[in-house]
Amino acid sequence: RQVASDASFHSVTFAESDHPRVLITGGLGQLGVGLAKLLRKRFGKNNVILSDIRKPADNVFYSGPFIFADILDYKNLREIVVNNRITWLFHYSALLSAVGEANVPLARAVNITGLHNVLDIAAEHNLRLFVPSTIGAFGPTSPRDPTPDLCIQRPRTIYGVSKVHAELMGEYYHYRYGLDFRCLRYPGIISADSQPGGGTTDYAVQIFHDAIKSGKFKCYLKPDTRLPMMYIDDCLKATLEVMEAPAESLTMRTYNINAMSFSPEELAQEVQKYVPEFQVTYSVDQVKQAIADSWPMNFDDSNARRDWGWKHDYDLPELVTTMFSYLGSDSR
């Protein structure tokens, strides 16, 4: 089968044409570049388009197709989906918890209006749609230890409210219009070669950089604040797995996924095994602490494990070993 490809970025080979054509929105955040790398390995480089409203670094630009896409511009997004024959969309554009509290109108626009655009375009063009949700979709009245998939969700951040809205709207579009909506609630994600932006769990990434650079870290959460966490490779693996899962195996459309839970003091102890002189001081940020105190401490992901075989590879010791081997503990 020869596929006409004038409107796409590169010519499409026979083998590549049988794969999904993927668009990733918000692709220059913590997860998009890693996801694109994983999907390109599986579906071919030119079948995965990374998009954002920012200019990518040269290495990102040259590693595969990149396009400007503003999710608040409905026509622009629709044009991209049509012109590139997109069949799968990973919707990563969002303001995270802490930064959302600092700019509620922008968070509302990006996380809610942007989602509406994406849902309509996905439904209209029959796309398979992945939207990440989060531990932040729960709140102080949810059971926190552990937090199951189905329970009270009354988050107190605009981020959490927008993610509950995304879960409900996606499921509504699924049942009402047949949209193939798939959603995972991510824990805090820890990555070496990309930085998170404006979350409450970001300390668990920064701690590695500071340990290597200065042997010191000032933590904005109290030492015993326990939160669910995951290494990025597990997160991306789960994302691809749930998108590839046969529809009949999914008894739900929104799943918790988890790998580990730890507190800053437990993480610091593990870091000390690599940087013995490492010192942590605590200077609590009240906004972030209140957010963390309202979130799950442990996450029950038994439905994901049962329905589509979710299994994490990284616990805390493997996570810390991997972070130090990436960031280079001897570069101190």
Spell out the residues 6+ positions from residue 177 whose beta carbon is closer than 8 angstroms to its own: 123
Q: What is the amino acid identity at position 13?
A: T
The one among 134, 147, 261, 294 contacting ligand AKB by CB under 6 A = 134
Please, what is the minimum distance in Å from the beta carbon of residue 163 to ligand AKB?
8
The one among 84, 111, 142, 200 contacting ligand AKB by CB under 6 A = 200
199 binds ligand AKB (CB under 6 A): yes
* Secondary-structure percent of the chain, ordered helix, strand, coil, rounded to 5: 45, 15, 40
Cα Rg of the chain (Å, integer):
20
Q: Is 326 a catalytic residue?
A: no
Residue (65 or 160) nearer to ligand AKB, CB: 160
Region of 72-80, 129-137, 250-258, 322-330 interacting with ligand AKB (CB under 6 A): 129-137
Three-class secondary structure of residue 90 per DSSP:
strand
Residue (7 or 102) nearer to ligand AKB, CB: 102
Question: What's the full length of the chain, in residues?
Answer: 332
Please, what is the minimum distance in Å from the beta carbon of residue 98 to ligand AKB?
6
Q: What is the amino acid identity at position 141?
A: T
Please, what is the minimum distance in Å from the beta carbon of residue 255 to ligand AKB?
15
27: tokens are 């692709």
Residue (44 or 114) nearer to ligand AKB, CB: 114
Residue (80 or 227) nearer to ligand AKB, CB: 227
Residue (64 or 170) nearer to ligand AKB, CB: 170
Give 137-144's long-range contacts (Cβ < 8 A, gap of 24+).
137/163, 137/164, 137/167, 137/185, 138/294, 138/295, 138/296, 139/294, 140/293, 140/294, 142/296, 144/295, 144/296, 144/297, 144/298
Residue (195 or 214) nearer to ligand AKB, CB: 195
Phi-psi sector, 152: left (phi>0), alpha (psi -120 to 50), beta: beta
Among 169, 194, 167, CA closest to 183: 167
Cα–Cα distance for residue pair 168/54, rounded to 1 Å: 29
By CB under 6 A, what part of segment 78-107 binds ligand AKB? Answer: 96-97
Buried b (16+ CB within 10 A) or exposed e, 255-267: bbbbbbbbbbeeb
Active-site hit among 62, 74, 92, 159: 159
Please, what is the minimum distance in Å from the beta carbon of residue 143 to ligand AKB?
18
188 binds ligand AKB (CB under 6 A): yes
Buried b (16+ CB within 10 A) or exposed e, 75-112: ebbeebbeebbbbbbbbbbbbbbbbbbeeeeebbebbb
Q: In the stretch 144-163, what mask flags binding to ligand AKB with x, by CB under 6 A?
A: ---------------x----
Region of 76-84, 133-141, 144-152, 234-242 interacting with ligand AKB (CB under 6 A): 133-141
The one among 22, 135, 260, 271 contacting ligand AKB by CB under 6 A = 135
145 and 296 Cβ atoms separated by less than 8 Å:
yes
184 binds ligand AKB (CB under 6 A): no
The one among 20, 64, 136, 170 contacting ligand AKB by CB under 6 A = 136
Q: Which residue's CB comes closest to ligand AKB?
A: 199
Region of 71-79, 109-117, 192-200, 257-265 interacting with ligand AKB (CB under 6 A): 192-200
Residues in the site for ligand AKB, rule: CB under 6 A?
A: 96-97, 134-136, 159, 186, 188, 196, 199-201
> Known catalytic residues?
159
